[in-house]
Chain A
């Protein structure tokens, strides 16, 4: 099993739709999780972090299911500007030194 696994997509959704991505991880000791956003050929930028069961920031909700070892990202009322690749990131427990990135899920929001 890969350390971090994501559905590559692409997810094509109309503006205003709700879309959810899942990310599974193999290290059951991981405590914190992150979603980064990456626009085409640009650098990744932190979108959200989740340490407990979930985190909400406006239209974005990140949820954690430790029993099944997955995290999800929910985007409500999708905007054209949400089109990007979303990277799931799992750090090694207790250290900033090693981050494992998923390969990313591509989202395309259309009119």
Chain B
């Protein structure tokens, strides 16, 4: 089954304790991205990756790190979590087929989400 998986699904942690949220996709997608969703603010992009070893900042990258060593995995790292990083996190992936504007966007498939609480 084609899917994006995230782990853990729920996490309660304390300020300053490093954590990693894993994301994996089995669709051989080039593009992967991390979002956070907060009430009233919608989904905001944290980081994205166009392919292996290619990552870039989104709108809200502060306090986060990512890596893309393999095509299927795109972990999100919080080196020193703070309470303002309490949020619902989604990983997403898509293919990068095509170069014109119609196909340069391909449907993004989202993981089930990780609900993080930082005390």
Nearest-Cβ distance from residue A25 to partner chain B, whole angstroms: 13
Nearest-Cβ distance from residue B57 to partner chain A, whole angstroms: 10
Residue from the list A43, A46, A94 in contact with B104, Cβ < 8 A:
A94
* In the complex, number of A-B residue pairs with CB atoms less than 8 Å apart: 62
Which residues on A sit within 8 Å (CB–CB) of B48? 97-98
Nearest-Cβ distance from residue A65 to partner chain B, whole angstroms: 19
- Interface contact A43-B111, CB-CB below 8 Å: yes
- Interface contact A42-B96, CB-CB below 8 Å: no
Residue from the list A51, A93, A103 in contact with B42, Cβ < 8 A:
A103
**Is there a chain B Cβ closer than 8 Å to A59's Cβ?**
no
- The residue of chain A having its C-beta at the shortest distance from the C-beta of B49 within the complex is A97
Nearest-Cβ distance from residue A88 to partner chain B, whole angstroms: 9
Which residues on B sit within 8 Å (CB–CB) of A104? 42
- Interface contact B110-A93, CB-CB below 8 Å: no
- CB within 8 Å for A43 and B105 given contacts A96-B94, A97-B50: no
- Interface contact A98-B58, CB-CB below 8 Å: yes
Residue from the list B31, B42, B90, B94 in contact with A102, Cβ < 8 A:
B42
Q: Mark B58-99, 1 if CB is under 8 A from A, else 0.
A: 100000000000000000000000000000101000101000
- Interface contact B113-A43, CB-CB below 8 Å: yes
- Interface contact A46-B40, CB-CB below 8 Å: no
- Interface contact B108-A51, CB-CB below 8 Å: no
Report the separation of the CA atoms of residues A41 and B88 in the bound assembly, to the nearest whole angstrom: 9
**Is there a chain A Cβ closer than 8 Å to B119's Cβ?**
no
- Interface contact A42-B112, CB-CB below 8 Å: yes
Q: Mark A21-48, 1 if CB is under 8 A from B, else 0.
A: 0000000000110100000011111100
- CB within 8 Å for A99 and B108 given contacts A43-B90, A44-B43, A87-B43: yes
Closest 8 CB pairs of A and B: A43-B110, A103-B42, A101-B43, A91-B105, A31-B101, A46-B107, A101-B42, A94-B101
Q: What is the interface of chain A, defined by CB distance below 8 A to chain B?
A: 8, 31-32, 34, 41-46, 49, 51, 87, 91, 93-99, 101-104
Given A32-B102, A99-B45, 6 more contacts at CB 8 Å?
Answer: A41-B88, A41-B113, A43-B110, A46-B107, A98-B48, A101-B42
